[in-house]
Amino acid sequence: MNLAEKFRGAFRHVEVALIVVIAVVALLVSLRAPNFLSPVNLINLLLAMVTIGIVALGQGFVIMSGELDLSVAASIAFSAAAAASVMRSGAPVWLGVIIAIGIGATIGLLNAVIVLATGVNSFIVTLGTLSVVQGLTLAVTGGLPIAVPDALGLLGSTTRIAGIPFPVIVFVALMILAQLVLVYTVFGRRVLAVGDNVDAARLAGIPVVLTKAAVFAIAGALAGVAGILRAASLGTAESSAGTSDLLPIIAAVVVGGASLVGGRGSMTGVFLGAVLLGMVQNAYVILKLSSWLQLATFGLVVVAAGVFDQARQGRIGWVNTLRERRSVRASLATAHGDATAESTPHQSKES
């Protein structure tokens, strides 16, 4: 295998490609803004992506199972608002945290029940529950932020371990845990099997309904975790939390290499996808670029990642044609080379 083939082979692994892209983007931006790669800015970059990154991990499980959950963006705000209301009434912080996670998981389970019981596409179902949960959030908050107890602030960005904000540590720990679950547990293998071919998974004895219900619950629970960490960092639970995070959440999963039709992906890829998007977002702020350009970039990244995924799976006709032509040319060249090599000794003998 020559160097070019090894290089192309490495880029078949999305994580390697993402690391290279992240390094290139970091280098290019640092040429214009030398402080971009400073430890302080890198920590702030990760801190800004905690909410999106944590929810993207849950969304990753859902997408890898062949489904989609749009309601997680609204669950971020609702779970935090409900927990803040309970804590304001005198409930202890630990109970508020459990309530936030429990509410998120409950919303996820409700989505699963509707999807699995009716057969309605999860995009349609969760689009509806997204609106419902947003309405409930406004009902709870009245459109106003709800202050959280000072004790909750211990879970926020002001608490640092070895200089790293606590929410960032939680994000990284959850990524590692999610990757271990996906790769080394029966549940993780079931998620990928269900996403790859639900009928084959059912025939193999995999509990499809329970597996899909679990991934929706995990996505909702992680939205609750993200909501409570965000409220802890800001000191308030806001009704608008997460409203602009839906596109980056899905983008992080898709850019991270997860197939939109399920059956493929990794949590390290999701993590790197979130880091790349956070880096782009941070670069736009440092370089003082327009906010509309940032939104447009996120949209283009999602489309490009989707096209790349389809091409990688051989689902784009003209790409397949180009590959077949390249393969034929390579075969002909190999055959011609072999024929030339075989004829050379005969010519030498005759001479």
Architecture of domain 17-315: Orthogonal Bundle (1.10)
| Mean predicted confidence (pLDDT) in 25-37 | 87
Name the pTM for this structure. Answer: 0.84
Distance CA 171, CA 152 (A): 17
φ and ψ of 146, to 5 deg: -110, 120
Which residue type does 18 have? L
Structure tokens, 253:
């999963």
Of 294, 295, 252, 253, residue with least CA distance to 276:
252
Instruction: Assign 190 a pLDDT band (cuts: 50, 70, 90).
Output: very high
- Overall residue count recorded for the chain in this entry: 351
Buried b (16+ CB within 10 A) or exposed e, 262-271: bbbbbbbbbb
Residues 255 and 273 sit within 8 Å (Cβ to Cβ): yes
- Enter the tokens of residue 44: 């702030």
pLDDT at 10: 40
Name the 3-class secondary structure at 12.
coil
Torsion angles phi and psi, residue 204, rounded to 5: -80, 0
Q: Is pLDDT above 60 for 91? A: yes
What whole-number distance in Å separates Cα of residue 260 and Cα of residue 250? Answer: 10
Predicted confidence at residue 14, as pLDDT, reads 79
What are the CA-CA distances from residue 240 to residues 87, 299, 319 (Å)? Answer: 20, 21, 42
Give the model confidence (pLDDT) of 56-79 as tens digits: 999 999 999 999 999 999 999 999
Give the list of residues 6+ apart from residue 192 with CB closer than 8 angstroms, or none: 64, 182, 262, 263, 264, 265
What is the pLDDT at residue 203? Answer: 93
Q: Across residues 248-266, what is the average pLDDT?
A: 88
Find out whether 213 and 113 touch, Cβ atoms under 8 Å.
yes
Return the top range by mean pLDDT from 105-119, 283-297, 334-348: 105-119
Binned at pLDDT 50, 70 and 90, residue 6 comes out as very low
For residues 240 and 3, the model is more confident at 240
> Could you report the per-residue pLDDT of 204-235, keeping only the tens digit for each?
999 999 999 999 999 999 999 999 999 999 99
Q: For residue 5, what pLDDT band results from cuts at 50, 70 and 90?
A: very low
The pLDDT tens digits of the residues spanning 325-342 come to 666 666 666 666 666 666
- What pLDDT was estimated at residue 8? 44
Tokens 């290139």: give the residue: 24
Residues 81-100 have a mean pLDDT of 92
